[in-house]
Amino acid sequence: MTIDHDPNPGKLLTINEYSDQNGQLVQLNNMKGPKILLFVSMHCVRCIELLPQIRDLRLPNTGVVIFSTGDQEDHRELDDFLHNKWSIVSLSPEQMEEEFEVKTHPFCIVVDEYGRILNKGNVYSGEDVSNLASVNGEGKLKKLFSHLFH
């Protein structure tokens, strides 16, 4: 895992709105509670390996949005695989870079309930996601995400 500690924690997420696999509007800043944004590419084997581990994470009260380079068919299949529990947004690699500064996959951004970016970095396992959510000097996120693994 590579963690990119933001030198300016608290940077706000993009205000862009997205549409998920069901045509529902995804407004990142209006989602309640902490959020995990996961960026995956259908052309990245590590991303495909990561998804089953993400599915098995226990994430009550935590919003998860998956940004994926896949097409409609990919996202239908992914939605089934994830038991329809999270939003999946189609985004090109170029959009991921432009809107979220995501250059490599799989990538995760952890956001607090106010839409402030707390941590981001490449993740290769469910444990990496958990660690990314926990690595925060304040200990606040650690507390927020303490339910991820038992």
Residue 80 is a binding residue for another protein (CB under 8 A) = yes
Judge residue 93's burial from the number of C-beta atoms within 10 Å of its C-beta, 0-12 exposed, 13-18 middle, 19 or more buried. middle
Dihedral angle at the C-alpha atoms of 145, 5, 40, 149, nearest 10 degrees? Answer: -20
Residue 69 is a binding residue for another protein (CB under 8 A) = yes
- The smaller minimum CB distance to another protein, of residues 54 and 117, is found at 54
Residue 104 is a binding residue for another protein (CB under 8 A) = yes
Residue 1 is a binding residue for another protein (CB under 8 A) = no
Q: Could you tell me the sign of the dihedral formed by the alpha carbons of 14, 81, 62, 110, in that order?
A: negative
For residues 141 and 131, give the distance between their C-alpha atoms in angstroms, rounded to a whole number. Answer: 10
Residue 74 is a binding residue for another protein (CB under 8 A) = yes
Q: Which two tokens stand for residue 10?
A: 């608290």
Among 1, 3, 26, 48, binds another protein (CB under 8 A): 48
Residue 52 is a binding residue for another protein (CB under 8 A) = yes
- Interface positions with another protein (CB under 8 A): 41-49, 51-52, 69, 71, 73-74, 77-78, 80-81, 93-94, 97, 103-106, 122
